Chains A and B, each alone.
Chain A
Amino acid sequence: MKRRTFGAIGLAAMLLASTAFAENHAPTLTVGAVAPKTGPLAGGAAVSYWPNVRLWIDDVNSRGGLMVDGTQHMLELIEYDDQTNPGETIKAVQRLATQDEADIILPPYSTGLNLAAAPIFNRFGYPMITATATVDDTKALVSQFPNVFISLGGAKPITEGVAQVLSDLRDRGDIGNRVAMVNVADAFGIELSQNARPALEAAGFEIVYDTSYPLGTQDLSTVIKGAAGTNPDAFVAWSYPPDTFGLTEQAQIEGLNPGAFFTAVATAFPSYQARFGDSVDGVLGIGGVDADGEAFQEYAARHEDVTGEKPDFWASAMVYSSFQALEQAIEAVGTMDNEAIIQHIKDNSFDTVIGTLDFDENNNNPAFWTVGQWQDGLFHGVASTGREGAAEVRARDAN
């Protein structure tokens, strides 16, 4: 509410300044971003989401701004903390749309918060390209909210990617047939393990250990002991950040060191490597990037330069690429006509830090990384649904 007054004062000050320095007379566009800064998902958003918002604003502004209506517009950012509470997300997006009159609203963070905000983005007609929501059936969602685009990928292809990578290792004789699988008992872990069972069985694997554990479990040693007791050839965990760290550490302690070791979210985080050092080499994880590709290398350097933090090797680049697609669509349309921008996103493909981003008829990005692997200090994508630059999966030194 106050922001508008401040905005008005700022505008007045700028107008005054612009009479003195005519070349500074740059019009602005207001960009809004809502995501957790506190609450259960704040840790993940602090790694994958917020730095990319700031980086994108900085990138656009340092190249002179966004070309709309024939003039360069500088971007002004308004950030809100939704406290990982969908009620707050809804309120904050409404506030951006009606009080701050934001020209651009970036999508929120995580599946639940994005879906809570989708009806509001839809009502106000904003395009919403989200890179942090996993949706298995985009068709139903998009028929109700045609302004929503999903780029992260669904559970089925990811689990098929894991089955494929394990098959490759088995066919080369690096691992055998026995898979131990665990999952965190929340929406994410449930969906992925549910898809992984048929995918692994179809690939001829035997699931010798299969269990879930509650979110927030403080001691995973029993889970790891149970898995180790079945003497598996591969360990697969559909895990969240705190437990990805916990499972990995416990596996090292218990000597659970099979030929394939896979953990999910946070495996691609720089802090994962920082904590476990060289022992991460050969660890498989969800997602990935073309880590050697020029586009990613440049992006990673800028990310560290601007935000002081390294990007992760999966969601960071996905988030940034969704902003890039929006940026390119706006400039291609040339006005802030959201309807035309949405149509443009549907009809075109975009050149981004993860390569070409192209949405299908269900507003879904069909080409994404499914599995990555730590190799020589970088987390390389090793399996995807049509991305270029996959590294060959390596065997891990098993005991």
Chain B
Amino acid sequence: MTPSRSEAARIGWVVLALAAAATLPWIGSSYYLALGVTIATFTVLATSWAIFSGPTHYISLATAAFYGVGTYTTGLLIETMPYWSILAIAGLIGAAGAALVGLATLRLSGVYFVIFTLGLAEFVRQVLTWVQNLTGQKGIYVLTQITEAQIYWQLVGLAALVWLAGWLIGRSRLGFALRIIGDDEEVARHSGIDTAMAKVLLFMIPGAAAAMTGAILAPRFVYIEPAVAFSPMLSFQVVIMALLGGTGRLWGPLVGVIPFTFLWEAISSSFPNQTTLLLGLTFLLIVYLLPRGFVGLFLDLRQHGGGTFRRAGA
């Protein structure tokens, strides 16, 4: 399939936007760069999460498990391996782990899958902690010369890869199969789609992306320990951002992550003593006022604008 003209235009815009995003380290202060790293991190995590969870309606809380594994991959290998190979290894470990989890959880439905992934992340963290205790190894130092700008560019690059993967899947047979699964799994199975295989393949994307994100960010934290690398709060944050954005479109999580990061930032900087309280109230407001997430808001706005335009044109 070759891209149609409107698709080509859209690809052009995406490439332009990515190029613009990549200039941030030169134009913004280091503070905006830190915000940029946060946005890029959650864009990668939430978008890859939504590629799996959007069509399948499975809510995964395993992000922290893959992210933590990636962080530790860097921590353990940084002294002995070239940096770029570490990212690849982390991605492979993440994908392989996700495939295993996917195969194991095929029979789980709905909330059982949600909590299974949560339990799994905690299990990995506990085993790792125990092994550390056995070997007498404590937190790991990751002292490198990698700068914040380099971390940011890697994350933007990873985000581009995730979008590319999502776009290709959308155009492939797999994507077609997934849309049917999302509508009705029974129908999909009857029409000869290997639903299990499709889901497992798809789950490898957030697995690999989260592991690579962890691997990229490890040098930023200088010191890593299980409590930080496997923080369950991360899994929840990713779910919240993706859902607030909207999982139906590839760009949905992005429009959740960006306003949310700025809101989070405004609240943390203006109300340091009530940060948690106000963040909670903000979640509530968004859920009640934007029942279809930010995607819904954008689509409504566009429909309004577009509607008038069409009427005027007709």
Chain A contacts to B: CB under 8 angstroms? 1-3, 37-40, 78-81, 83, 85-88, 90-92, 94-95, 97-99, 111-112, 115-116, 118-120, 123, 140-141, 144, 183, 185-191, 194, 212, 214-215
Out of B31, B34, B220, B225, name the residue touching A112 (CB < 8 Å): B225
Please determine whether B225 and A141 come into contact, CB atoms closer than 8 angstroms. no
Of B48-56, B57-65, B135-143, B167-175, the one with at least 4 CB within 8 A of chain A: B135-143
Please determine whether B139 and A86 come into contact, CB atoms closer than 8 angstroms. no
Please determine whether A81 and B223 come into contact, CB atoms closer than 8 angstroms. no
Q: Which residues of A contact B273 (CB under 8 A)?
A: 37, 79, 81
Q: Most chain-A Cβ atoms within 10 A of its Cβ — which of B35, B220, B221?
A: B221
Give me 23 A-to-B residue pairs in the complex whose CB atoms sit less than 8 angstroms apart, sorted by A's number: A1-B269, A1-B270, A3-B270, A37-B273, A39-B233, A40-B227, A81-B276, A91-B31, A94-B33, A94-B34, A97-B31, A115-B141, A115-B223, A119-B222, A141-B141, A183-B133, A185-B129, A185-B130, A187-B139, A187-B225, A189-B133, A190-B132, A215-B129
Please determine whether B223 and A91 come into contact, CB atoms closer than 8 angstroms. no
Please determine whether A1 and B266 come into contact, CB atoms closer than 8 angstroms. yes
Task: Give the distance in Å from the alpha carbon of A87 to the alpha carbon of B38 in the complex.
Answer: 8
Query: Residue B282 at the A interface, CB < 8 A?
Result: no
B217 nearest CB across to chain A (Å): 8
Q: Which residues of B contact A85 (CB under 8 A)?
A: 228, 231, 233
Please determine whether B268 and A80 come into contact, CB atoms closer than 8 angstroms. yes
Query: Residue B303 at the A interface, CB < 8 A?
Result: no
What mask results when residues 119 to 157 of chain B are scored 1 for a CB within 8 Å of chain A, else 0?
A: 000000010011011001111010100000000000000
Task: Give the distance in Å from the alpha carbon of A141 to the alpha carbon of B139 in the complex.
Answer: 14
Query: Residue B109 at the A interface, CB < 8 A?
Result: no
Of residues 230 to 279 in B, which have CB atoms within 8 Å of A's CB atoms? 231, 233, 265-266, 268-270, 272-273, 275-276
Please determine whether A215 and B132 come into contact, CB atoms closer than 8 angstroms. no
Query: Residue B80 at the A interface, CB < 8 A?
Result: no
Please determine whether A214 and B126 come into contact, CB atoms closer than 8 angstroms. yes
Contacts A98-B29, A140-B141, A144-B143 given; indicate if A86 touches B221 (C-beta within 8 A).
yes
Please determine whether A94 and B275 come into contact, CB atoms closer than 8 angstroms. no
B20 nearest CB across to chain A (Å): 21
Q: Which residues of A contact B231 (CB under 8 A)?
A: 85
A108 nearest CB across to chain B (Å): 12
Q: Which residues of B contact A79 (CB under 8 A)?
A: 272-273
Q: A90-B34, A215-B227 are in contact. List 6 more A-B contacts (CB 8 A).
A: A79-B272, A95-B265, A98-B30, A116-B223, A186-B226, A194-B136
Please determine whether B31 and A2 come into contact, CB atoms closer than 8 angstroms. no
Q: Which residues of B contact A87 (CB under 8 A)?
A: 38, 41, 217, 220-221
Contacts across chains A and B counted by CB atoms under 8 Å:
120
A126 nearest CB across to chain B (Å): 13
Please determine whether B221 and A112 come into contact, CB atoms closer than 8 angstroms. yes
Q: Which residues of B contact A144 (CB under 8 A)?
A: 143
Please determine whether B31 and A95 come into contact, CB atoms closer than 8 angstroms. yes
Please determine whether A115 and B269 come into contact, CB atoms closer than 8 angstroms. no
Contacts A85-B231, A99-B31, A194-B138 given; indicate if A92 touches B222 (C-beta within 8 A).
no
Q: Which residues of A contact B217 (CB under 8 A)?
A: 87
Q: Which residues of A contact B38 (CB under 8 A)?
A: 87, 91
Task: Give the distance in Å from the alpha carbon of A118 to the alpha carbon of B130 in the complex.
Answer: 28
Contacts A98-B29, A118-B222 given; indicate if A80 touches B272 (C-beta within 8 A).
yes
What mask results when residues 207 to 231 of chain B are scored 1 for a CB within 8 Å of chain A, else 0?
A: 0000000000100111111111001
Q: Which residues of B contact A91 (CB under 8 A)?
A: 31, 34-35, 38, 265, 268
Task: Give the distance in Å from the alpha carbon of A115 to the alpha carbon of B221 in the complex.
Answer: 7
A100 nearest CB across to chain B (Å): 8
Please determine whether B228 and A112 come into contact, CB atoms closer than 8 angstroms. yes
Task: Give the distance in Å from the alpha carbon of A37 to the alpha carbon of B270 in the complex.
Answer: 15
Q: Which residues of B contact A141 (CB under 8 A)?
A: 141, 143
A188 nearest CB across to chain B (Å): 8
Please determine whether B268 and A81 come into contact, CB atoms closer than 8 angstroms. yes
Q: Which residues of B contact A185 (CB under 8 A)?
A: 129-130, 132-133
Please determine whether B222 and A116 come into contact, CB atoms closer than 8 angstroms. yes
Residue of A nearest to B125 (CB): A214
Q: Which residues of A contact B223 (CB under 8 A)?
A: 111-112, 115-116
Q: Which residues of A contact B221 (CB under 8 A)?
A: 86-87, 112, 115-116
Q: Which residues of A contact B34 (CB under 8 A)?
A: 90-91, 94-95
Q: Which residues of A contact B139 (CB under 8 A)?
A: 111-112, 187
Contacts A37-B273, A79-B272, A95-B31 given; indicate if A86 touches B129 (C-beta within 8 A).
no
Task: Give the distance in Å from the alpha carbon of A99 to the alpha carbon of B29 in the complex.
Answer: 9
What mask results when residues 9 to 39 of chain B are scored 1 for a CB within 8 Å of chain A, else 0?
A: 0000000000000000000011101110010
Q: Most chain-A Cβ atoms within 10 A of its Cβ — which of B132, B133, B227?
A: B133
Task: Give the distance in Å from the alpha carbon of A79 to the alpha carbon of B231 in the complex.
Answer: 24
Please determine whether B222 and A115 come into contact, CB atoms closer than 8 angstroms. yes
Out of B126, B270, B272, name the residue touching A2 (CB < 8 Å): B270
Task: Give the distance in Å from the alpha carbon of A180 to the alpha carbon of B273 in the complex.
Answer: 43
Q: Which residues of A contact B41 (CB under 8 A)?
A: 87
Task: Give the distance in Å from the alpha carbon of A91 to the alpha carbon of B266 in the complex.
Answer: 12
